[in-house]
Amino acid sequence: MKRIGLIAAVCLLPQVALAWPWSTDMVNQPSIKPQEIDNWFEQMPAFPARSVPIQGMPTKVANREEAKTLANPIPATEESLKKGRTLYRIYCAACHGLTGKRDTPVADKIGAIDLTDDYAQSILTEGWIFGTITYGSVIMPAYGAPAGNAQKRGANDLTVEERWHVVNYVRNGLVKEASVRTAAAE
């Protein structure tokens, strides 16, 4: 009889272990689940206060319009372009494409601009591009000062220096790489 009780206990042990806290399904936790929001850009809630990452770099301008006249303090060296390229691929390429030519499935849906055309390369100032990265735009989230845009969306993902590296890459490396890729494809 002891043997049957021992066998039953051993058989039930895995089921008991599955009920411990470490078996909680991490998908069903309180979080923002974008796939459950019908109109993401209108219904996306503001990020909770002190959400990760909590550190941020102070920006000396209060909005994107004030950033228009800023001069890029970081020279467009090979090192800066390399850092900017890496950051661009992490944060920007999903919407603007690896080449900056809106060559992604979501570009038309969200209204991403072509970063290689004359408008972005000649008319927009480096300060304006920096301000757009910092404060976001109608669709684009803020990557520097989430409290600075109207929707209060975004994150303090990029430091001031990193944002300037991205500006250097958009202005000095993106078009060059796009033309090299086009020539290689032909």
CATH fit for domain 2-185, picks 3.30.230.30, 3.30.70.3190, 1.10.760.10, 3.40.50.300 = 1.10.760.10
Query: What tens digit of pLDDT does each residue of 117-174 get?
Result: 999 999 999 999 999 998 888 888 888 866 655 656 566 678 889 999 999 999 999 9
Six-digit token string for 132: 């757009």
The two three-digit tokens of residue 162, written as one number = 């990193």
Domains of the chain by residue range: 2-185
| Cα–Cα dist 89/33, whole Å | 24
Of 78, 79, 70, 56, the closest CA to residue 146 belongs to 56
pLDDT of 166 reads 96
Beta carbons of 101 and 114 less than 8 angstroms apart: yes
Nearest-CA neighbor of 145 among 153, 112, 94?
153
